[in-house]
Amino acid sequence: MMMILLVCSIILITTLFLQNRSTGKKSNTPKSPPRFPLIGNLHQLGRHPHRSLCSLSQRYGPLMLLHFGRVPVLVVSSADAARDVLKTHDRVFASRPWTKITEKLLYNGRDVASAPYGEYWRQMKSVCVVHLLSNKMVRSFRDVREEEISLMIEKIRESSSLPLNLSKLLVSLTNDVICRVALGKKYGCETDFKELTERFSRLLGTFSVGTYVPWLAWIDWIRGLDRQLKKTGNDFDEFLEKVLDDHVDGDRDGTDFVDVLLTIQRDKSVGFQLDRLSIKAIILDVFVGATDTSYTLMEWVMTELLRHRECLNKLQEEVRTICNGRSSVLEEDIQDMKYLKAVIKETLRLHPPLPLMAPHESTHDVRLREYDIPAGTQVLISAWAIGREALTWGLDVEEFRPERHLDSSVDFRGQDFELIPFGAGRRICPAISFAVVLNEVVLATLVHQFDWRLPVESTEDQTNVAESTGLAIHRMFPLYAIASSST
């Protein structure tokens, strides 16, 4: 016991000595909260890092330097600072850091979202933007969206005015649409697949100690993280292999993403070799990314509408007026639904699905404002904090008020840094149009077809907006609501 205490004391004293020497050197870095030896500021992340970091930034500024173990982390918490990072110095911060999670689950960064900045990433992004997520491709899957929304409406009607698990319904709808578009068929009814996707999403948001404090990597092994990552990565790889084999062996019309990618591979039509591993990584990106964020946004929209009856009534009036007696919402109707778009913007402001977005990493030293940022610094853009800037949004930033967007030109497609739930710059999410059209038509249909209310006996519980933990932040508890036909 004494030997252990002695070793720990030596390590602590050495670390403090080295830290004092390093802090004694002149450096012009952003302000930092005090940190512990070895672990840095990791203890300050808390259960909900986006909230903890927002609180810290109010004291230390919109550009704040933390240390997660040995890794310097720049936290960006204002629209102006985000503009400097994602526009002025976009190329410097366009890369992604390596983590144990991306290595084991995302083919070691072979996907579009986590690939380091470089030629490979440019090639994979061009495949997605041109061949998978173009406006033409988005329009081509209109029938899929309409069919799945019709099935959802039938399920709601069958609830017979009983409390309905709306969260579960939205997860199922999103999963079915994405499966059909990306993989060619629905897998949502298969228990093993549902368990696999839930396990995968949960692990994506897990914190890996060994990534930031290598000498404590044994903790990941002890708590079973290494084993879970390996098993889940292998299980998903086996599933994707089966999907690819089914497409190669089957007689298909080339209407889903896998067909498109296999055609590109076979015809070598993009000027470079698209291998099997890259195809699996791209499909994994589209499926996991689109499913989690889309249903999360719709769940938060319905939560806020049910908590603010006046907003729900105003949206219903707009949708039903524009549909003018028709039995369903057409995608063409959406462009005239200004209040619907305002509701979605306000929800994205208050509840961005990825509140800290995917991390960036500087590829070389850069002067950011008056600060020196060294190469290898991770950057967290807090979309959650940016959406709560009083200078931008007013003193009522915590209130759900869609009207604030009706006379505002601020949009979420990467040009206005006051609202960047999908990112901006080179690493902006390429699937914005793909996700938004589904969200808009689903939400418009829900309020068009039904009148909604919370179960009377559990109203207080249902308005609880406690957040989950993980990468994508949705409700901690499912949203139950009662739907009654509007006709």
- 62 and 91 share a domain? no
The pLDDT value recorded for residue 188 is 64
The pLDDT value recorded for residue 469 is 84
444-465 average pLDDT score: 78
- 161 and 215 share a domain? yes
- 176 and 270 share a domain? yes
- 86 and 62 share a domain? no
- 103 and 35 share a domain? no
Domain end point (choices 43, 59, 77): 77
The pLDDT value recorded for residue 250 is 64
Is position 8 annotated in a ligand binding site? Answer: no
Predicted confidence (pLDDT) at residue 10 exceeds the cutoff of 80: no
80-85 average pLDDT score: 97
* pLDDT tier for residue 253 given thresholds of 50, 70 and 90: low
Average pLDDT over the chain reads: 89
- 127 and 208 share a domain? yes
The pLDDT value recorded for residue 23 is 44
Quick check: is 215 in a domain?
yes
Quick check: is 282 in a domain?
yes
89-94 average pLDDT score: 97
- 15 and 89 share a domain? no
Quick check: is 379 in a domain?
no
- 119 and 166 share a domain? yes
Quick check: is 171 in a domain?
yes
Domain end point (choices 77, 94, 111): 77
The pLDDT value recorded for residue 120 is 95
Quick check: is 245 in a domain?
yes
- 108 and 215 share a domain? yes
* pLDDT tier for residue 169 given thresholds of 50, 70 and 90: very high
The pLDDT value recorded for residue 13 is 41
Residue 411 is encoded by which pair of tokens?
């949009």
47-55 average pLDDT score: 95
315-336 average pLDDT score: 95
Quick check: is 381 in a domain?
no
Predicted confidence (pLDDT) at residue 9 exceeds the cutoff of 70: no
How many percent of the chain have pLDDT more than 90? 75
The pLDDT value recorded for residue 459 is 52
Domain holding 462, by residue range, is 82-367+386-485
Question: What would the pLDDT profile of 208-232 be if each residue is shown by its tens digit?
Answer: 999 999 999 999 999 999 999 999 9
Residue 387 DSSP one-character state: T
Quick check: is 372 in a domain?
no
The pLDDT value recorded for residue 252 is 58
Predicted confidence (pLDDT) at residue 135 exceeds the cutoff of 60: yes
Quick check: is 380 in a domain?
no
The pLDDT value recorded for residue 479 is 94
Domain with residue 301: its CATH number is 1.10.630.10
- 470 and 338 share a domain? yes
The pLDDT value recorded for residue 12 is 46
The domain total for the chain is 2
Question: What would the pLDDT profile of 282-321 be if each residue is shown by its tens digit?
Answer: 999 888 878 888 899 999 999 999 999 999 999 999 999 9
Per the rule left: phi > 0, alpha: psi between -120 and 50, beta: everything else, 357 is left
- 194 and 104 share a domain? yes
The pLDDT value recorded for residue 45 is 92
- 202 and 336 share a domain? yes
